[in-house]
Amino acid sequence: MYDQLFSYINRYSETLLTPEDEALIKTSLKPASLKKKELFLKQGNICQFTGFILKGAMRQYSVDSAGNEHIIQLALENWWMVDRESYLMKTPSVYNIDAWEDTELLVLEADDLQRLLEIPTIKEMFWKMNQSSFIASQKRLNNSIALPAMERYEELIKTYPDFIQRFPQHIIASYLGISKETLSRVRNKRIQK
Amino acid sequence: MYDQLFSYINRYSETLLTPEDEALIKTSLKPASLKKKELFLKQGNICQFTGFILKGAMRQYSVDSAGNEHIIQLALENWWMVDRESYLMKTPSVYNIDAWEDTELLVLEADDLQRLLEIPTIKEMFWKMNQSSFIASQKRLNNSIALPAMERYEELIKTYPDFIQRFPQHIIASYLGISKETLSRVRNKRIQK
DNA sequence: CGCGGGTTTGATGATGCTCAAGCCCGGTGG
DNA sequence: CCACCGGGCTTGAGCATCATCAAACCCGCG
């Protein structure tokens, strides 16, 4: 179960984990599981855990005043899921996080994270993860202000083809910031070509 | 000149910079200046520097196939400006970065950054900066898919009131992902209330 | 067989864009 | 001192994109 995490970490870092590192990781990250639609984080609560997805699919989303969901982030196996702001600042979150499929996780409390960051290999992994999260977020932002619906969809297919397989279209639509009807029509037009 | 940077760093970290740290910083970050509209990074080039703004105002933007500019990021005094992806991966950038006002900077090459990161205080500062960059970017993304034009403008006024003072409206409009005409009309409606 | 979740299709309308014109204002040069 | 110019802002008309609402369809499952 932990091997999946270890090999993930080793892939992101120059120096491999020592057995002692692995032992510390095992005591810090605890197994958890979520049924489909079960909440991992509820709007208004403080995000207690960072989750590493072993198996399954999750969503992070906000709910606006009209009750519409807006998908901020989707995540599959070997992704980290957390509301960083709430987790780090211990402030109430404006987002919900839930499971879209039955999901197996390893979860990490904020205090334990601090201990883990003593391990250089771990620190390096999180460092790189932060970098790439920011870069990805900035790209998506650029797409969302610079590209029309159709091209945003094209981009998504190129960048995260798995999402299309694993999430229904109305989720994908929300992730792209368009309505499910518009996405449906966009897909029709694509096929015509 | 460097004092401004030192006090910025000290504000972001628990432990203060030592005189040796400061000496290393001085040899790593070099003064530079840009005239209004002068490019700091040109689309297609590799981003060579991270810039710390001592005085002035900068923009980072993409240009779409129709020739329209889309503002990805605005920055004022005590902000860092860089295309992280290009800078770190040494890949050609899809963005332009230029000065909107005459600007004084301290610039840092990627290799020198690695040396600086040996200093724990510096590492901690960049760590926190990465975190908050990501959080800010995610918030802005959420706004851009969840909120209509008017509310996005309200958010901007709350979050970065300085931007409104320092940048003309057509820049603000582009930052919000709307046309300058729409922003103009939005502002009219606001005043009516 | 009926139900629930998901997708499609059509009609209608809001939001925001484009294009074009005019205005305002602070230079700059005659 | 005035004319003109450029950059920025505003306003209006027409239009494209996309959202909303409603209905129908599809299909896997109890």
Could you report the per-residue pLDDT of B77-94, keeping only the tens digit for each? 999 999 999 999 999 999
The owner of tokens 């509820």 is: A42
Task: Compute the CA torsion angle B142, B143, B147, B153 (nearest 10 deg).
Answer: 180
Q: Is the CB of B143 under 7 A from strand C?
A: no
Residue B40: phi and psi, rounded to 5, are -100, -35
Q: Which residues of B touch A (CB under 8 A)?
A: 62, 64, 68, 70, 72-73, 84-85, 88, 94, 127, 130-131, 133-135, 137-142, 144-147, 176-177
Q: Give the model confidence (pLDDT) of B140-186 as tens digits.
A: 999 998 999 999 999 999 999 999 999 999 999 999 999 999 999 99
- A147 CA: nearest nucleotide by C1': D17
Residue B13 has pLDDT above 90, yes or no: no
In the prediction, which pLDDT does B1 show?
Answer: 86
pLDDT band at residue A65 using 50, 70 and 90 as cut-offs:
confident
pTM: 0.93
Mean of pLDDT over chain B: 95
pLDDT band per the 50, 70, 90 thresholds, residue A85: very high
Query: Under the phi-then-psi rule, with left for phi > 0, alpha for psi from -120 to 50, and beta for the rest, what region is A90?
Result: left
pLDDT for A120: 92
Let me know: does A71 contact A61? Beta carbons within 8 Å: yes
How far is the C-alpha of B170 from the C-alpha of B23, rounded, in Å? 42
Closest nucleotide relative to residue A167's CA, C1' based: C6
pLDDT in tens, A115-164: 999 999 999 999 999 999 999 999 999 999 899 989 999 999 999 999 99
Reading the block at residue B62, the tokens are 């993409």
When the pLDDT of each residue in chain A is averaged and rounded to a whole number, the result is 95
Residue B35 scores a pLDDT above 90: yes
A145 Cα to chain B: minimum distance (Å):
5
The pLDDT assigned to A79 comes to 97
The whole-angstrom distance between B138's CA and the closest CA on chain A is: 6
Interface of A with B (CB under 8 A): 62, 64, 68, 70, 72-73, 84-85, 88, 94, 127, 130-131, 133-135, 137-142, 144-147, 176-177
What is the domain partition of chain B in residue ranges? Answer: 2-132, 147-193
Least Cα distance to A44 among A77, A101, A100, A83 occurs for: A83
Question: Domain spanning B2-132 has what CATH number?
Answer: 2.60.120.10
Nearest to B135 among A64, A68, A84 (CB): A84
Q: Given this model, what pLDDT does residue A193 score?
A: 60
- Choose between B65 and A183: higher pLDDT: A183
Interface test with chain A among B69, B145, B147, by most A beta carbons within 10 Å: B145
Per the CB < 8 Å rule, is A141 touching B144? yes
Decide yes or no: CATH 1.20.1070.10 for domain A2-117: no
Average pLDDT, stretch B109-134? Answer: 95
Give the model's confidence band at B193: pLDDT under 50 very low, under 70 low, under 90 confident, else very high: low
pLDDT by residue (tens digit) across B40-64? 999 999 999 999 999 999 999 999 8
DSSP letters, B62-84, are: EE-TTS-EEEEEEE-TT-EE--H
